[in-house]
Amino acid sequence: MCRVRISHLSSGSTSVRFIAHPSAIPHARHWAAEQARVHGFAPHSVHTVELLVTEAVTNAVMHGPPAGAVQVSLDPTGATLRVSVRDDSDALPVLRTPPPTALSGRGVLLIDRLADAWGVQPHTDGGKTVWFEVVREEGTVPGPRNPHAAG
C-alpha cells in the first residue's frame, strides 16, 4: 500500500510525498500528469512530464534507501513547469549511454534528452533533488484551469 501526502502551496506549487516503494511510482506519474493538465499543458508535454516523472521517481525508489522518503514537487512558472524529485540518497545520478540490449540505465538519459533543462541539487542535510523543466508548447493556454469543465 502506498501512503501519499499532497501539499498545496500559495505560490501555485504543489507536492506529493511518499515512502520509497515501487507501488508509489504510478501514483506519482498520474498525479504529475493531472497537475500538468490542470496548468494548461498540451497532451505532448503532459506525456513528457509523465515519462520523466516515472524515470526520476523510479531512480529515487530503486537507488535510494529502503523506506526512505521521496517528494515530488511541481512548480508552474509562466510557460515552464519545473518538476523536482527529492530523495534521501546522497548518490548523484549518472548519465549513461547503455547498449541497445540493456534492460535498464536509460532514466537519466531520457531526462537529459527530453527535458528543456535539468540538474541535481545535493542537500547538506543529506539526500538530493533531481529537477527538470518542461516548457509549454506554443499555442496552448496557460493554466490553471478546471480539467473537468465542459468545452
Contact assessment for residue 36 and residue 53, using Cβ atoms and an 8 Å cutoff: no
Q: Which residues contact 2 (CB under 8 A, 6 or more apart)?
A: 18, 19, 21, 23, 24, 27
Q: Which amino acid is at 87?
A: D
Of residues 147 and 66, the one with the higher pLDDT is: 66
Percent of the chain with pLDDT over 70: 83
pLDDT higher than threshold 90 for residue 6:
no
pLDDT at 76: 92
Residue 141 lies in a domain: no
CATH of the domain at 105: 3.30.565.10
Residue 142 within a domain:
no
Answer yes or no: is 97 within a domain: yes
In a domain, 140, yes or no: no
What predicted TM-score, i.e. pTM, was given to this entire model?
A: 0.83
Domain region containing 37: 4-135
The pLDDT of residue 108 is above 70:
yes
Set of cell numbers at residue 84 = 523536482
Question: Does 116 map to a domain?
Answer: yes
pLDDT in the model for residue 119 = 96
Strand arrangement, sheet containing 128-135: 4-8, 14-19, 69-77, 80-87, 128-135, 117-122
98 lies in some domain: yes
Measure Cα distances from 118 to 3, 109, 131 in Å.
28, 11, 5
The helix (run of H) or strand (run of E) holding residue 46 is helix 43-63
**Does residue 123 contact residue 69 with C-beta atoms inside 8 Å?**
no
Provide, rounded to the nearest whole percent, the portion of the chain with pLDDT above 90.
67
Report the range of poorest mean pLDDT among 19-28, 97-106, 117-126, 138-147: 138-147
Give pLDDT, residue 4.
47
Q: In this predicted structure, what is the pLDDT of residue 124?
A: 95
**Residue 62 within a domain:** yes
Question: In terms of Cα–Cα distance, which of 135, 21, 130, 145 is closest to 73?
Answer: 130
Number of domains within the chain: 1
Side chain identity at residue 109, one-letter code: L
d(Cα 87, Cα 60) in Å, to the nearest integer? Answer: 6
**What pLDDT, in 10s, does the model give residues 38-63?**
989 999 999 999 999 999 999 999 99
pLDDT of 98 reads 86
143 falls within a domain: no
